[in-house]
Amino acid sequence: MSTAVNQVSAEVTVTKEKMLQMYRRMQMIRQFEEQVNELYTRALMPGLAHLYIGEEAVAVGICEALNIDDYITSTHRGHGHCVAKGASPDRMFAELLGKEAGYCKGKGGSMHIADPATGNLGANAIVAGSAGIATGAAFSAKHAGKKQVAVCFFGEGALGQGVVYEVMNLAALWKLPVIYVCENNLYTEYTHVSETLAGDLLQRGTAFGVPSEAVDGQDVIAVHAVAKRMIERARAGQGPSFLVCNTYRYTGHHVGDINREYYRSKQEEQEWKTSRDPIKLFTSWLTGQGQASATELSEIENEVAAEMKAAVEFAIASPYPAIDKVAQDVYA
Amino acid sequence: MPENATRELTFAQAVNEALAEEMRRDKRVCILGEDVAEAGTPFKVLSGLVQEFGVERVIDTPISEPGFTGVGVGAAMTGMRPVIDIMFGDFLTLTMDQMVNQAAKVHYMSGGKWKVPMVLRTTLGASRRSAAQHSQSLHAWFSHVPGLKVVMPSTPYDAKGLLKSAIRDENPVVFFEDKMMYKLKGPVPVEEYTIPFGVADVKREGEDITLVATSSMVQVALEAADLLETVGISAEVIDPRTMWPLDEKALIDSAKKTSRVIVIDEGYERYGVTAEIASVIAEGAFFDLEAPVKRMGAMHVPIPFSPPLEDVTVPTGPGLFAAAKKLCGKN
């Protein structure tokens, strides 16, 4: 993992507007998660949260290749996917604080944000728990003759779950428009991938005849380019793909996982943060290529900071749900 | 119902007819399961459906219960009305994450934004000499989970009307069919009808004792009621028909009327639905009861293969007759 890739892909087919949008979304995810950590350390947030910092290029690169009515399923480490698909930070923070104004009226919390308006079928706290749901959404799209696709995000830990292979088999048999995106951030909770996964990751897809590729998950343009290809393929009725995004989780498994030396070194973390940071890499590429000026980018960064500050204030000021809501929504 | 408007159908035909009618009515209804298409399932319950609706809607799956049940959940969330076929109720164990953590939770966990209008049809019941992994009655597990509805028809009439309601329901519904009952015949109207959930049905009226019976045990209770009549005991047989929602009032009212109750169900007696129903009745009819509510269910053993062993694990008509007589103070 020490092979430094200091610049993002040269495979550029996106407009400047799209690039700045990607930069903004990456900033939003980074700053959203920093605020989450702050809310946790200030004891303002009930429970825990699993931060997406370091992996921003994956969610953004892929979701920027999707339409609003395309589907995604997300994971316990799902804030990034939700933001990337277009969720509003204010209602996300409200959900994280268990407030009525949250996306799930406070009933879901950090690990279950769902939003039909942006095609978000929901974050799922069972590892690989949404593999069936995403595949089912693709089944619906195909059945209804719609051109929607579904993206199923999961971590490399989910490759230990049999249901992933069951639905890949089904999706390949039935040529379903679904892209299985494995975010390999190297750690299944507190255990290195070398202890959890045997064999070759990509061959897990190719065994089913599913086109499978790996990409540098720190390179948003590279992720976007391969995602676009796979999404177009799915939309054209050619079936599922499997994408492994090699990335890194900067922080602990959750916000309370502070002392991590027993499973990985500070030096390893520092290396990724210094030379493999997706936002830094994208920033230097954008400025180096003359796509954006440092001033433009720092303006975006500041706008996002103001948006996050207001979103947190909104969530803190929002009321909790009334107690009598507890038994509401058990059944439709 | 007028006599000329009914005919005799088997339980299997009633299930088949409900599916066919709903698939004609609503193009979103599709069936996914193992050997559901040309084979029409090992029980031949789905025979003919693939010929009418095609392989796009009657879909053979690989042997992947978690996979295709999960696909059903996602498909239901995004506009389809899938009917998932789990061949043997024992295989429900493989679907538990999809049903309990996904299907049952989606609506609540999303604050009511996503819903899962899906039916999972499966079987229950012992006495087919099929041993421990093809004979269980696991409906109690699903009845325990908020977010799921659990349906247990005991006649062809109920099977058709309840299955049509299940397919139209906006929630995940687990629909249990007794394998031994597929050939049972009964009157089914020609006219379309549905049966609402949460409404118990009195299968036989009586005055001296209430036999609350579910699914396969309704026939057992009716047999016992005939035997009880010969010794001058008038038994009422009431079938809740749905485990959840549960028609508590009808059960309590019957208990108040007769003052004695036996609850009989083919699931395991320990921690089973008989315990829940007995508790509902004990709380609701306490001052009208002449005796403690008695429960009868499957023995607390894995279902054995050997016929003489298997036969003692499940309640029978004569066994229920003896227990009821005793509860009524007659030996």
Read off the pLDDT of residues B120-160 as tens digits, 9 standing for 90 and up: 999 999 988 999 999 999 999 999 999 999 999 999 999 99
Q: Report the residue of B95, B108, B173, B244 to disrupt the A interface, i.e. the one with the largest count of A CBs within 10 Å.
A: B108
A212-216/A241-246 β-pairing: parallel
**pLDDT tens for each residue of A119-147:** 999 999 999 999 999 999 999 999 999 99
Q: What is the pLDDT of residues B98-126, one digit of tens each?
A: 999 999 999 999 999 999 999 999 999 99
Residues B47-72: tens digit of each pLDDT: 999 999 999 999 999 999 999 999 99
Task: Answer yes or no: is A332 within a domain.
Answer: no
Enumerate the residues of chain A whose CB falls inside 8 A of the CB of residue B98. 132, 163
- Gap from A164 CA to chain B (nearest CA, Å): 8
Is residue A2 in a domain? no
- Answer whether residue B148 is part of any domain: yes
Average pLDDT over residues A70-86: 98
pLDDT of residue B9: 98
Reported ipTM: 0.95
pLDDT of residue A6: 42
Domain that holds residue B299: 201-326
Which helix (H) or strand (E) element contains residue B124?
A: strand B119-124
Q: What CATH number is associated with residue B267?
A: 3.40.50.920
Contact A132 B74 (CB under 8 A): yes
Task: With CA atoms as reference, report the closest residue to A23 among A214, A270, A329, A283.
Answer: A283
Residue pair B123/B87 in contact (Cβ under 8 Å)? The answer is: yes
Are B215 and B174 found together in one domain?
Answer: no
Contacts of A173 in chain B (CB under 8 A): 62
Say how many domains are in chain A.
Answer: 1
Examine the domain organization and report whether B228 and B102 are in the same domain: no
Local structure of residue B99 (DSSP, 8 states): I
**Looking at B136, B158, B189, which one is the last position of a domain?**
B189
> Do B126 and B219 belong to one domain?
no
What CATH number should be reported for the domain holding residue B40? Answer: 3.40.50.970
If asked whether residues B210 and B168 sit together in one domain, one would say no
Across chain A, mean pLDDT equals 95
Residues B223 and B172 in one domain: no
In a domain, B272, yes or no: yes
Interchain CB distance below 8 Å, A122 and B109: yes
Report pLDDT for B127: 83
Instruction: List the 211-250 stretch of B: residues with Cβ below 8 A of A.
Output: none
C-beta of residue A308 within 8 angstroms of C-beta of residue A32: yes
**pLDDT for B243-274, tens place per residue?**
999 999 999 999 999 999 999 999 999 999 99
Answer yes or no: is B182 within a domain: yes
How many separate domains does chain B show? 2
- Looking at residue A3, what is its pLDDT? 36
Q: Does B302 lie in the same domain as B238? A: yes
Subunit contact B76:A136, Cβ cutoff 8 A: yes
Indicate the residue among B189, B219, B253 that finishes a domain: B189
Same domain, B163 and B33: yes
Q: Which of A126, A130, A140 sits opposite B75 (nearest CB)?
A: A140
Name the band, by pLDDT with cuts 50, 70 and 90, for residue A5. very low
B309 in any annotated domain: yes
A261 CA: distance to closest CA in chain B (Å): 33
In a domain, A326, yes or no: no
- Report the distance separating Cα B14 and Cα B128, nearest Å: 22
Asked if B153 and B205 sit in the same domain, the reply is no
- pLDDT at residue A9, as a whole number: 56
Do the domain assignments include residue A266? yes
- Domain limits at A151? 16-317
Structural domain includes residue A196: yes
Quickly list H helices, chain B. Answer: 11-25, 49-53, 65-77, 96, 104-109, 139-143, 156-168, 217-230, 248-258, 273-284, 307-311, 317-327
Catalytic residue among B134, B139, B144, B300: B134
Q: Could you tell me which chain B residue has the CA closest to the CA of A328?
A: B108
* Local structure of B28: helix, strand or coil: coil
Can you read off the two tokens belonging to residue A44?
Answer: 């303002």
- Mean of the pLDDT values across residues A252-257? 95
* A285 falls within a domain: yes
Which pLDDT does position A129 carry in this prediction?
Answer: 97
By C-alpha distance, the chain A residue nearest B78 is A137
CA distance B217 to chain A (A): 29
Q: What is the pTM of this model?
A: 0.96
pLDDT tens-digit readout, A82-114: 999 999 999 999 999 999 999 999 999 999 999
Q: State the smallest CA–CA distance between residue A105 and chain B in angstroms.
A: 5
In this structure, is residue B260 part of a structural domain?
yes
Q: What is the mean pLDDT of residues A187-199?
A: 97
Residue B250 placed within a domain: yes
Mean predicted confidence (pLDDT) in A268-283:
97
Closest by Cβ to B74, choosing from A133, A328, A332 = A133
Question: Please, what sign has the CA dihedral across residues B68, B71, B77, B83?
Answer: negative
- B101 close to A (CB below 8 A): yes
Q: Examine the domain organization and report whether B151 and B229 are in the same domain.
A: no
CATH number at residue A311: 3.40.50.970
pLDDT digits (tens, 9 = 90+) for A7-29: 455 555 789 999 999 999 999 99
Residue in A131, A144, A329 closest to B108 by CB:
A329
Alpha helices in A64-195 (DSSP H): 79-85, 89-96, 131-143, 162-174
Whether B107 is catalytic: no
Chain A residues closer than 8 Å to B62 by CB: 166, 169-170, 173
- Determine, yes or no, domain membership for B2: no
Residue B216 sits in the same domain as residue B139: no
B70 closest CB neighbour out of A108, A132, A144: A132
Whole-number Å distance between alpha carbons of A83 and A86? 5
Q: Does B124 touch chain A (CB under 8 A)?
A: no
Token digits for A164? 């992933």
Domain end: B132, B154, B189, which one?
Answer: B189
- Classify residue B215: in a domain, yes or no: yes
Note whether B79 contacts A: Cβ–Cβ < 8 A.
yes
